Amino acid sequence: MSGPTLAEQVATLRQQGFVVVRGFAAAEQLQALRDLSRRQLERAAPPAEYEADLRYPGAPASRQAEGGHTVRRLLDAYGRDPLYRRWATSPAIARWLRECFGETPVLSTVHHNCVMTKHPAYGSLTGWHQDIRYWSFSESELVSTWLALGHETAGNGGLFFIPGSHAAAFRPEQFDADKFFRDDLPENRAWIERAVCPELEPGDVVFFHCRTLHAAQRNASGQVKLSLVHTYHPEHVLPLPGTRSASRPGVPLAQVD
Ligand SMILES: O=C(O)CCC(=O)C(=O)O
């Protein structure tokens, strides 16, 4: 039996703020991306962001502390290797996002654009947040792709999403000073109770809106979790001049039929 059509997948994203597309990456490409990511992680190939830099709960206190060299993100996937470039600009992603945006999708080389890791030791948890919080664009209409390079579950730090949160008009007071959605407010708790953690198989992709609230726990398994993450915007949505979002040119994805 075939799964949902592309139009149905996009409708789900619009309605709940995220959609899981099963088996999106071909087995051969997935294997190549996984092998490459493991090699790059093994030698902490720069540029990398370390858990100690972010200091989220569970992270080492500094790069000098025990576990201080735990990588959180291998940055600039697009510039790192042609394999990552081919994935981020692949015809399948271009077709999906063109259906979603109704126009040419543009890859941001500033935001996400990384291999996201989660280590069993020293890998931190991430509180509830909307990705748009630190991004600056003419409209909040960006979509990210999260490719699972291995299995992802709540137990190894898989993402939790709150359905419908992308369409909510939250007040600034519902967020803390670092723009995390406060979990101590009863009105926020009502949202958080609706959260779901879709289990991902290797090759599944989650498409999610930049206003969708999401969070992740620590990795309680024995193995590092790896995911490849990119962000795209429609071509009429522009990074605001002078902001970090405009600090590097985006990559328009060619038309594919
Ligand atoms: O893997 C995690 O802890 C969550 C990552 C995430 O949501 C982010 O970096 O925006």
CB of 219 closer than 6 angstroms to any ligand 1 atom? no
Write phi, then psi, for 132 (nearest 5 degrees). -65, -10
CB of 214 closer than 6 angstroms to any ligand 1 atom? yes
3-state class (DSSP) for residue 114: strand
pLDDT at 256: 61
| Per-residue model confidence as pLDDT tens digits over 52-67 | 998 888 888 899 998 8
- Please give the Cα distance from 217 to 203 (Å, whole number): 21
pLDDT, average across residues 177-195: 97
Distance of CA 64 from the midpoint of ligand 1 (Å): 23
Closest residue by CA, ligand 1 atom 7: 215
pLDDT at 54: 85
pLDDT at 16: 98
Distance of CA 162 from the midpoint of ligand 1 (Å): 14
pTM here is 0.97
pLDDT band at 257 (very low <50, low <70, confident <90, very high): low
- Please give the Cα distance from 30 to 73 (Å, whole number): 18
Closest residue by CA, ligand 1 atom 10: 131
Q: Please confirm whether the linkage preceding 47 is cis (ω < 30° from 0).
A: yes
